[in-house]
């Protein structure tokens, strides 16, 4: 009977987590939920920081593309990039709050005049050259959809660029100690390759992005994606 009891306890917790994820959707009309204190997973770090409500966290992210006064680390945006051999990205959501002061996103960040915030990525194998990655926020579409221009810089002369469309969300999950914690999630909505060393123009309008090159004009949006 013990295995069945353990399974019941696990199933009960799974249902509870699912309920919290639904309850913390950014589409909620609950003023009380939005005014609740934001409690990120890294309590040792967040306990030393000024208290912020969920509404303040999501508003600051949308207004400045930052979390607690720091720009979003390029290593997090890099997770959205698929392999050249793949069609669609596998990672489509990252937790910005969990990455705050994390070891995984601790690479020094520099400001590249043309490419934006840039960091060096780890080499895939010993003896290989390291790749650099950069992104620059270009603007915000209707519905708080942020448009970023990204650049992957390898050991050669290539600078492979893309446009990505992302949106902030609030989520909630269970930490290793069994306690709930809040997440500031960044969700990928669309990714468009611009090719090697793109030198055209990109204009972010209210509901679409206009990309102009010598050969063509592209009008990009996210349609009815929510």
Hey, which residues does 92 pair with through a beta bridge?
none
Q: Is residue 59 part of a domain?
A: yes
Q: Is residue 115 part of a domain?
A: yes
Of 102-106, 132-136, 149-153, 162-166, least confident by mean pLDDT is: 102-106
Report the pLDDT averaged over residues 83-104.
89
Q: Domain range for residue 141? A: 2-195
Whether the pLDDT of residue 8 is over 50: the answer is no
Q: Is residue 214 part of a domain?
A: no
Report the pLDDT averaged over residues 106-125.
86
Predicted confidence (pLDDT) per residue in 124-135, tens digit: 545 556 789 999
Q: Which has more confidence, 1 or 94?
A: 94
Query: Quick one: tokens of 80?
Result: 């959205």
Whether the pLDDT of residue 101 is over 60: the answer is yes
C-alpha distance from residue 111 to each of 73, 118, 137, 139, 200 (Å): 12, 6, 13, 18, 21
Q: Is residue 163 part of a domain?
A: yes
pLDDT-above-90 percentage for the chain: 57
Reduced to 3 states (helix: H, G, I; strand: E, B; else coil), residue 78 is: helix
Q: Is residue 167 part of a domain?
A: yes
Q: How many domains does the chain have?
A: 1
Number of residues that make up the chain: 226
Query: CA 75, 78, 84: angle at the middle one, nearest 5?
Result: 150
Whether the pLDDT of residue 186 is over 90: the answer is yes
Q: Is residue 207 part of a domain?
A: no
- Residue 171 phi/psi, 5-degree rounding, is -130, 175
Predicted confidence (pLDDT) per residue in 138-151, tens digit: 999 999 999 999 99
Q: Is residue 213 part of a domain?
A: no
Q: Is residue 210 part of a domain?
A: no
Whether the pLDDT of residue 176 is over 80: the answer is yes
């Amino acid at each position: 009977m013990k295995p069945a009891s353990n399974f019941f306890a696990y199933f009960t917790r799974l249902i509870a987590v699912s309920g919290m994820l639904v309850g913390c959707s950014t589409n909620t009309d609950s003023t009380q939920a939005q005014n609740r204190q934001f409690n990120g997973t890294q309590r040792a770090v967040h306990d030393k920081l000024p208290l912020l409500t969920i509404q303040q966290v999501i508003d600051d992210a949308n207004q400045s593309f930052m979390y607690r006064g720091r720009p979003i680390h390029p290593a997090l945006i890099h997770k959205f990039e698929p392999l050249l051999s793949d069609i669609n990205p596998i990672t489509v959501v990252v937790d910005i709050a969990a990455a705050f002061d994390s070891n995984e996103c601790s690479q020094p960040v520099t400001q590249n005049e043309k490419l934006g915030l840039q960091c060096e990525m780890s080499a895939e194998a010993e003896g290989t050259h390291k790749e650099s990655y950069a992104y620059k926020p270009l603007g915000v579409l209707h519905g708080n959809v942020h448009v970023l221009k990204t650049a992957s810089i390898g050991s050669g002369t290539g600078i492979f660029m893309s446009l990505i469309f992302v949106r902030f969300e609030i989520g909630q999950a269970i930490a290793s100690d069994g306690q709930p914690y809040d997440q500031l999630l960044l969700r990928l909505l669309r990714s468009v390759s611009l090719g090697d060393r793109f030198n055209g123009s990109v204009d972010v309008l209210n509901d679409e992005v206009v990309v102009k090159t010598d050969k063509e004009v592209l009008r990009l949006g996210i349609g009815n994606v929510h």
